[in-house]
Structure 1
Amino acid sequence: MNIQDAHIYPYIKNYLDRIPVATFKKGTYFSKAENRDNQIYYILSGNVNVESFSEMGKKVLVDSISENEFAGQISYIRQSNFYCNSLAVTDVKMLCLKEDLMSILMKNLEFSTVFYFKTSSRIYIMYKKMLMNSLFSQCELVAYYIIDNSHKGQFVYKSIYDICEKLNISRRSFYNIINKFVELKVLEKGSDCIYFVKDDNYLIEKSDNVKRFMENTY
């Protein structure tokens, strides 16, 4: 995406000489909790994961964001700190909005409205996903994920690690559930990374509560 196509372009067009464009390779942590970098990023292209780590090494996927979204240590602006790291999941290209420029931009009512709307919307999505993990069983979550990511009767995945990170479950739990579905003839194992959906009615019924919750049909 070109800078001119960014949602915030009308508000930053007079400050472009003060806004560096940064690129980060896939796998790069560009903003770490322990190092306040005094700037907010705006994603022009690519995907970013926001992660939080405990002292024991447990990692939680907090959010996944892409172009036309703000990234970085946004919680500081709300006088808090979520202690999150930002990881480039793909190669990314971003605008760097330094703290002094952000102070100027936030005085513009239209810009601040866009900023708060975008970041508040992300918090709502993050919180809803956390509620989903608390309200429903892992079996229901996996069934919903399979239905949501199946095409023409096939569930094809690239990375078990990514799935488990999104669902916040262990790989052991995921495989146990998948194997149970195979035993029940709900799924049939194909070649590597492919399962054939043999009983989609079972998965639809099993995931119905999750679907209604996530898609706002309660």
Structure 2
Amino acid sequence: MDINEIKDILIYDYIKDYLNEISILNVKKGQYITRSSEKLEEIFYVVDGNAKVECITKSGKSFLVDELCENEFVGKISYMYEQNLFCDIVATSDSTILRISKSTFKKLEKNPEFLKLFLFKTSKRIYYMYKKLMMKDLFRLEETFAFHILENSENDVFKFVSMYNLCKVMSVSRKQLYNVINSFIEKDYIKKDKTSLIILNRDCLYEISMGVREINEVNDCDFKFDI
């Protein structure tokens, strides 16, 4: 993709005067956009594709911090808050990324409308991350997993990439997840078929996940940011 082929993206009107300062990265699935050890002061913008933000400790334990899709900003945004989350950012699909340097971003943030959009998008994701951690403290894994299955199933079939990936999404150990899945299978709530879980008793899963469902209800009021 060429820099002149991005006229339809959300931020084009804000960046059109700085196109000569912005580069396009074509990133392959599994490729690092940036590593925690790198001292980068750049902001990336996902034109298309998906990415994940992951924290990996020195002992090798990993924690899925965030997942992103197109029209989202990503980078070492924690630097702006005088923090460092020591996270890796990895493409989870073939992606097209805009790389915006620190100097260019400083120019962009002088535009109140761009700054409003940037802060809205980043703060919204921080809120979702906080909500995810809050749910982990408030609810048992059985409750959050039942909700996750129901919300991400189609025709009563929940498909997942691998148990390893599912553990990362749920931020739990393999043992914890297997225990819940086996418990659901024994109670005839679900059955497992390779990389799919077939829902056998939707009503029971719905009842188990009621509390999680309530906290995830979308508020339709008009008290919202006008972006």
User: Shared topology, TM-score over 0.5?
Assistant: yes
- Give the corresponding residue for 1:203: 205
The offset of 1:13, in angstroms, is: 0.4
The offset of 1:66, in angstroms, is: 0.9
Among candidates 111, 132, 135, match of residue 114 of structure 2: 111
Aligned residue runs from structure 1 range 12-23, under 5 A: 12-23=15-26
- Give the corresponding residue for 2:73: 70
Q: 1:166 to 1:195 in 2, by over 3 A?
A: closer
**Structure 1 residue matching 2:7: 3-state secondary structure:** helix
Q: Which runs of at least 4 in structure 1 moved beyond 4 Å after TM superposition?
A: none
The offset of 1:154, in angstroms, is: 2.3
Q: How many residues align?
A: 216
Q: Is 1:48 the equivalent of 2:42?
A: no
Percent pairwise identity: 38
**Structure 2 residue matching 1:4: 3-state secondary structure:** coil
Native 8 Å contact 1:43 1:66 kept in 2: yes
User: Which string of whole-angstrom CA distances, capped at 9 and with x for unpartnered residues, describes residues 134-182 of structure 1?
Assistant: 1110111111111112222222322222221111111221111111111
**Structure 2 residue matching 1:185: 3-state secondary structure:** coil
**Structure 1 residue matching 2:13: 3-state secondary structure:** helix
Native 8 Å contact 1:160 1:171 kept in 2: yes
**Structure 2 residue matching 1:35: 3-state secondary structure:** coil
Q: Is 1:212 the equivalent of 2:214?
A: yes
Unaligned segments of structure 2, at least 5 residues: 220-227
Q: Is 1:9 the equivalent of 2:21?
A: no
CA distance, structure 2, for counterparts of residue 49 and residue 4 of structure 1: 25
CA distance, structure 1, for counterparts of residue 217 and residue 207 of structure 2: 15
Aligned residue runs from structure 1 range 1-218, under 5 A: 2-189=5-192, 191-216=193-218
- Give the corresponding residue for 2:225: none
The offset of 1:216, in angstroms, is: 4.6
CA distance, structure 1, for counterparts of residue 184 and residue 92 of structure 2: 30
- So what's the TM-score if we normalise by structure 2? 0.90
Native 8 Å contact 1:45 1:67 kept in 2: yes
CA distance, structure 1, for counterparts of residue 75 and residue 199 of structure 2: 39
CA distance, structure 1, for counterparts of residue 123 and residue 157 of structure 2: 36
The offset of 1:78, in angstroms, is: 2.5
The offset of 1:215, in angstroms, is: 2.3
User: Which string of whole-angstrom CA distances, capped at 9 and with x for unpartnered residues, describes residues 43-66 of structure 1?
Assistant: 101101001122222111110011
- So what's the TM-score if we normalise by structure 1? 0.93
- One-letter amino acid of the structure 1 residue matched with residue 190 of structure 2: L
**Structure 1 residue matching 2:137: 3-state secondary structure:** helix
The offset of 1:77, in angstroms, is: 2.1
Backbone CA RMSD of aligned residues: 1.6
